Each structure stands twice: as structure tokens, then as C-alpha cells.
Amino acid sequence: MALSHDASLDATPSPAALAPEDDRPLAPAKLVLTLALAQFGAYLAVLTPVMVTLALRVSQIVPEADRGTALGQVLSVGALLAMLGNPVFGALSDRTTSRFGRRRPWLIGGMVAGFAGLLVVAVGGSVPVLMAGWALAQLGINATLAALTACIPDLIPPRQQGRVSGVIGITTSLAMIGGSLLANVFSSSIALAFLVPGLIGVAAVTCLAVVIKDRPAKPGAFAPYSFKEFARSFWVNPVRHPDFAWNFAGRFLVFTGASCVTSYQVYFLMDRLGYDDETVTGKVLSGTLVMVVAIVAGSLLGGQFSDRSGRRKPYVLGSSLLMGVSLAMIASAQNFGMYLAALVVFGFGEGLYLSVDMALAAAVLPNPEESAKDMGVLNIGNALPQSLVPIVAPAFLAIGGGGNYGALFLFGAIAAVLGALAVQFIRSVK
């Protein structure tokens, strides 16, 4: 059953407006646990390459002077296809009439395709092959994520969504730890550092597919998936649904700031702080552990307090501003201790953001029967920065003769602050 959302755009509702009438019982612990496990597995598979292993794989193939540009090319192509694939697969999932349900085929099929792409990256010997493999991995895993994200409005009643979003936010953080740990454990075998996270992702998502009560779409409930419907997969009218549009803008800007960290932390540690290929994975792991402790704290506190207060926007505002401050701290960091301190602030802000933003997103969906498609459009706000940041990063890094990570992270800080301000224009949610 999909989330019902019909709050007026012309009035500011009471806190109860965060929980429209919905007589569904609270989701059982087993469902919440498997949702969290699937989220962990999918993000373990996709974040480990983004954070660590793709940068190291590129370093094995291209000269040091070209690695920043080559990494940007690989990440940009993959992120662009992720951005396109997420809403398309979401729309197709909404329409799926399979007897296995409308989410299961995309959950499992996407992860299998994603694992195949990771295998190509693991064994590929050139930048074009890496680009092709990473494109397939991003397409597959984003098919899974489109269906997985829709499971929240599908299966979780509104009064529970803040807490569940907090739990899911934690699993994303745990995936970052797990990916850094696996990259460190398999530092002598980059192939295994790609494949083991992928296998874990396939197993975790399969567990969710077994547990959920997944209904197929009703035949004839949707228009045929024509080119017009394909184009509509990327569009929600911002005039008719301004709250959705402001949430999209806020997501895009906040994740632009976050992508500066996730995409370039390895080269920041190597170029500014002087770590080599053999030691940088350990430093990434140490930084990730510190950051994730802060993310867990932010996620737990944000989800609980937001549900109790009936408010979302203040938490999104505070978290986005914290992320902006942390990026400014990274911009000025000259040693590993300063970098770790910045990651604590970044982690707490990101955890707070992740715990509340999903509930906010569910509350501004235009059509409950197209939750996967509309959440896919919102997820463009997550994916597009992963494509754009590697494109624009070389220009910031080149300021003043090269290696200007300060300029890159200050750009990210400004983007995060603007994202905090964008969410304040949402009117239907407090």
C-alpha cells in the first residue's frame, strides 16, 4: 500500500500533517531489519568503489599526472547513467505486473547486473573498460535503489518513517565503514575489494525480496511506457508541486557538497597530506570509522526528535549548515588530526540529514501510486552531483597552479549552505 499524501500547498499544516490518515499497523522489526540490511548491501557495493577502490584502480592504470582527470571521467559517466536510470527503473517498477510483485524483480535483477559491472571494473585494463563496467554497475545498483527507496512509502506508515529513515541512514554509514574495511583487508587484491562488497549486496537484497509483501501493479493502471512516459520519468512539475521542487533543489546542493568529500578524499590524503597507495586505505578507514560514529549519533537523534516534535525542516537546516562548516574545515586542514575533526562535524551533520530527509521526501511525493518514479526523480538530486563534481573539480583544483583542494571544498561548503536554505521554502511540512 502506498503512502497517501494530499496536504494543501496553500496552508502550513499542524505537526499531524506529517502523518496523514493511515490505519496501517507499525512495520514489524523483521521488515525494518531487512530493509536496513538491503540498504547496507546496496550501498556497500556502490560506495566502496566511489570512496576508495575506483581511485586506486585508476592509479594502477594511468600515470599519476592523469589520474584525477581519468577518475573524473569514470565517475562522471557512471553517475550520469545512475541519474538517468534511477527514475526510469522507478517508473518501470511502478508498472511491473509480475506475479513476483513490482519491486522484487528490480531489487534482485538490479543487484545481479550491478555485480556483473563490478566484475568488469575489477578485471578491466583500460579507462574505457572501467567506464563501461562502472556504467553497468551504476545502472544495475540504481535499479535496485529505485525499488528499495519506494519500499519506504510502500511499507512504512508515515508516523514511523522518521525512525525508520534514521535506521536506514545508519546503514549507509555502516556501508562506508564496511567498504573502507574491505578495501583495507583486500588492499593486496583490488579485484576482491570490488567483488566481495558486490556479493554481500546481492545476498542482502535477496533477503529483503524474500521478506516483503510485494503486490504487482494493477494491469491497465498506468499508461503504456511510451517515449512520453519515458520523458515524464525525469519530470515532476515544479509549478504544481513546488515543495517537491524545493526538496529536490536542497538535495542536489547538499549532495554536491558531500560528493566533494566522497569523490576526492583519497587524492586529498595522498596529494596534500602525503600518504602513498599502500597507506592511504588505512587512513581512509580511520577517517571513515570516526565519521560513522558521528553519523550514527546524528541519525539516531535526528529521527527520534523529528518524529516526536512533528518537525522536519529545522533538522534539515541544521544538518546542512553543519556539513557546510565541516567542508570549510577540510578546506583548511593541514594534517590528519584536523581532517579527522572535520569528519566528526561532517558525519554528525550527514547523519542528521539522512535521518530526516527521507521522511521529508516521502511527505512531498505528488502521487502515491508513482512513489518509485517520484522518489527516482528526487534521487537525481543525489546522483547528479556525483557526475557534475568530478567534471568541475579539475577547474577548482587547478586554481593557483594545481592541487587546490581548499577551493574545491569551499565550493562544496557553499553548495551545502545553499541547500539548507532551499528546504526552508517548503510550505506543506514544518
**Residue range 278-310, pLDDT digits in tens:** 788 888 888 888 888 888 888 777 766 766 766
Residue 201 within a domain: yes
Containing domain of residue 88, as a range?
A: 28-213+234-423
Single-letter amino acid, residue 419: G
Query: Does 1 reside within a domain?
Result: no
Lowest mean pLDDT among 108-117, 192-201, 278-287: 278-287
> What per-residue confidence (pLDDT) applies to 430?
67
- Predicted confidence at residue 199, as pLDDT, reads 96
Which helix (H) or strand (E) element contains residue 396?
Answer: helix 371-397
**Mean pLDDT for the chain?**
81
How many Å apart are CA 241 and CA 382, to the nearest integer?
Answer: 19
Residue 220 inside a domain? The answer is no
Residue 102: band (very low, low, confident or very high) from pLDDT cuts 50, 70, 90: confident
Q: How confident is the model at residue 369 (pLDDT cuts 50, 70, 90)?
A: low
pLDDT class for 372, splitting at 50, 70, 90? low
pTM here is 0.68
Residue-by-residue DSSP string for 297-339: HHHHHHHHHHHHHT--HHHHHHHHHHHHHHHHHHHH--SHHHH
pLDDT of 397 above 80 = yes
Specify the pLDDT at position 7: 33
In a domain, 222, yes or no: no
Return the C-alpha cell found at 320: 546542512
| In the block, residue with C-alpha cell 544538518 | 319
CATH code of the domain containing 172: 1.20.1250.20
Q: Coil, strand, or helix at residue 363?
A: helix
Q: List the one residue out of 155, 165, 140, 152 whose CA is nearest residue 86.
A: 140
Assigned domain for 250 exists: yes
Query: What per-residue confidence (pLDDT) applies to 18?
Result: 39
Calpha distance 324→313 (Å, rounded): 17
Q: Using 50, 70 and 90 to split pLDDT, how confident is the model at 135?
A: very high
Please state the domain count of the chain.
1
> Are 183 and 193 spatial neighbours (Cβ–Cβ below 8 Å)?
yes
Amino acid identity, residue 88? V
Distance CA 53, CA 89 (A): 26
Close Cβ partners of 66 (under 8 Å, ≥ 6 residues apart): none
Residue 225 lies in a domain: no
